[in-house]
């Protein structure tokens, strides 16, 4: 085992050697000096930090607005050339924004106005051939049926009492469709940007009322059955519009055929004087709606009159069918050459 202490003689010898070299004989100092001499300095701990010059911040300068080349201005004072998509208008930007907001707000407002007015207009159309089924309010009471299997109700007014139409759901729908068609003809005169909204609300309100009548008057609780009937009604609406349009354009004979086919269900035993009264009534209502201003239509100021007033005009003798003696004669059709 190596000794841990130094003898006195060796210590004196070492002191003499250090004295000759001019160094301190302190062993602790010697160890410190040797360690300081042989130690390697660390660059990251002994090197000085370099001072990095900081750049002074520049004041904020807003970018100038883009300059577009001057071109020929359009009718509204705004150039249509030299501008990219989305670039602001240099001609009265506040006025253009105000016009755009007014356009958007007015379109939304018109939708709500059309919704309320069309509801009243459809109710006026449905009122013309209204009917009730008293048995539907009673429990365990069978509703009477027609020969075609439709629920038979009770109705009053010219359409039922004078024309002899049966008060059924289909009759009510066809007469309501007829008056809706007359309103549709007038709504077609609205500007193209406004007419579709009124058309759509007019048709929507009819289907709301029709479905409500199926539930409250006919006790149809199954939604699938109601949807089937509503789809059939929509097909009928598209078909009768085509038939009535053709009759309006081609003449009273074609229009009478459309009326006979839709309202009278193509009954061969019908009194055609009643068909003539309906045709005359259609012409008269269209004339009255044409004389009514757009503001009156948009305000819902439409009320249909009594078709019975058309009877005298239908029974009036035609001058083209009278001979010199004042008698009505029917000319036989010319026979084909043999």
DSSP 283-333: HHHHHHHHHS-HHHHHTT------GGGGHHHHHSPPGGGB-TTS-B--PPP
Q: What is the mean pLDDT of the chain?
A: 77
Q: Alpha carbon of 246 to those of 133, 231, 260, 261, 280: distances in Å?
A: 35, 23, 14, 13, 16
Calculate ∠ Cα 323-329-334, nearest 5°.
105
CB neighbours (10 Å) of residue 36?
A: 8
d(CA 167, CA 150): 10
Which stretches within the chain are classed as H helix? 8-21, 27-38, 43-46, 93-126, 169-187, 195-216, 223-250, 252-262, 272-291, 294-298, 311-315
Average pLDDT, stretch 159-163? 93
pLDDT tens-place string over residues 166-178: 999 999 999 999 9
Confidence (pLDDT) at 329:
55
Closest CA to 256 of 278, 237, 281: 278
d(CA 205, CA 116): 10
pLDDT tens-place string over residues 229-271: 999 999 999 999 999 999 999 999 999 999 999 999 999 999 8
């Amino acid at each position: 085992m190596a000794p841990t202490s130094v003898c006195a003689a060796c210590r004196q010898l070492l002191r003499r050697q250090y004295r000759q070299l001019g160094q301190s004989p302190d062993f602790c100092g010697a160890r410190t000096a040797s360690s300081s001499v042989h130690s390697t300095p660390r660059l990251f701990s002994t090197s000085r930090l370099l001072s990095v010059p900081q750049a002074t911040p520049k004041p904020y300068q807003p970018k100038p607005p883009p300059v577009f080349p001057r071109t020929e201005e359009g009718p509204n004072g705004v150039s249509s050339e030299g501008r990219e998509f989305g670039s602001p208008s240099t001609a009265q930007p506040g006025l253009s924004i105000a016009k755009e907001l007014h356009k958007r707000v007015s379109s939304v407002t018109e939708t709500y106005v059309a919704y309320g007015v069309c509801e009243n207009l459809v109710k006026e159309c449905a009122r013309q051939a209204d009917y009730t089924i008293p048995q539907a309010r009673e429990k365990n009471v069978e509703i009477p049926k027609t020969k075609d299997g439709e629920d038979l109700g009770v109705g009053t007014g010219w359409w039922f009492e004078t024309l002899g139409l049966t008060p059924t759901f289909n009759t009510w729908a066809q007469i309501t469709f007829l008056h809706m068609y007359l309103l549709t003809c007038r709504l077609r005169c609205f500007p193209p940007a406004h007419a579709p909204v009124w058309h759509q609300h007019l048709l929507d309100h009819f289907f709301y009322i029709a479905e409500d009548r199926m539930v409250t008057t006919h006790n149809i609780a199954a939604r699938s059955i109601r949807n089937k009937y509503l789809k059939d009604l929509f097909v009928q609406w598209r078909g009768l519009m085509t038939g009535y349009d053709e009759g309006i354009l081609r003449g009273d004979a074609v229009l009478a055929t459309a009326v006979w086919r839709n309202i009278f269900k193509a009954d061969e035993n019908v009194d055609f004087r009643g068909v003539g009264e309906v045709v005359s009534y259609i012409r008269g209502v269209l004339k009255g709606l044409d004389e009514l201003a757009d503001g009156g239509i948009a305000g819902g100021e439409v009320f249909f009159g009594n078709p019975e007033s058309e009877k005298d005009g239908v029974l009036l003798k035609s001058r083209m069918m009278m001979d010199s003696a004042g008698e009505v004669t029917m000319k036989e059709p010319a026979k084909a050459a043999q």
